[in-house]
Amino acid sequence: MSRDEAEARFDDLAALRIEVFRAFPYLYDGDAAYERAYLATYMRAPGAVVIGALDGDRLVGAATATPLGEHRAEFAAPFAARGLDVDDFFYFGESVLKSVYRGQGIGVRFFEERERAALEAAFGKCVFSAVIRPAGHPERPAGYTPLNRFWKKRGYERIEGLVTGFSWRDIGDDAETEKPMEYWMKALTPVR
C-alpha cells in the first residue's frame, strides 16, 4: 500500500502489532506511544514498503520492509564485523497476521512481495531479525513451534554469531528491557 494509505491506517497497524506481538516469543506489552515512535521512524525512511492484507476494508495483516542502511544505521558495525555491508540489505521489519487468517499462504505472500520490492529497489539481499528467548522460558507455550522451518523453506539462513539488542516492555514488566535479536538472510536471484 502507498505511504498515504499506510499512514491513514496507522491506528489499525499499531493495534495489529500490539495484538499479534503479545504472544510468545515477543510478549510485547504494546502501547500507543511506543507504536507512534516505532512507526514514525519507519515512515520517515524514503524506501519503506508496507504490504497490507485486507479483508474487505479491514486490515488483518501487514508486512513492512525498508533499506537496512536507512532504517538502522547503528547495525553497520555488527554487520561489518561479519564482512557484511548494511547498504546491500533490504530489511524486513515484521509480518503480523491475525491468527484466524493463518495457514492460507498470506505469510508466504508477505515474503514474496517484500522480495519483489527489494529487487525493484535493486537490493540483492534481504534480512530480518528474530528475538532469541531462552529454551526454558516460562512463557513458552507447550507445543510452540518456532518459525525457523518456515523461514528456511523460504530460503533464509541464520547469520552465525550476529546478535544485536532491541528493547521493548515485556508483559508483566514495569520497564523496557533489551532483548537479543538474531538475523536471517537470503541472497536474491534477480528475475529476468
Q: Which residues bind ligand COA (CB under 6 A)?
A: 20, 94-97, 102-108, 110, 147, 150, 153
Looking at the Cβ atoms of 17 and 83, the one nearer to ligand COA is: 17
As measured in angstroms, the least distance from the Cβ of 118 to ligand COA is: 16
| Pairwise CA distance, residues 99 & 23, whole Å | 11
Q: Given the complex with ligand COA, which of 105 and 134 has the nearer CB atom?
A: 105
Query: Residue 172: exposed, middle, or buried by beta-carbon count in 10 A (0-12, 13-18, 19+)?
Result: exposed
At closest approach, how far in Å is the CB of 93 from ligand COA? 8
- Comparing CB distances to ligand COA, the nearer of 122 and 186 is 186
Closer to ligand COA by CB, 95 or 123: give it. Answer: 95
Within 8 A by CB and 6+ apart from 83, the residues are none
Q: How far is the CB of 94 from ligand COA (least distance, A)?
A: 4
* Closest CB to ligand COA among residues 84, 97: 97
The DSSP output letter for 99 is: G
Minimum CB–partner distance for residue 46 and ligand COA (Å)? 22
- Least separation in angstroms between residue 156's CB and ligand COA is 11
Which phi and psi angles does 144 have, rounded to 5°? -65, 130
What sign does the dihedral 119-124-128-134 (CA atoms) show? Answer: positive
Which 3-state string (H, E, C) describes 28-86?
ECCCHHHHHHHHHHHHHCCCCEEEEEEECCEEEEEEEEEEHHHHCHHHHHHHHCCCCCH
CB 173 within 8 A of CB 110: no
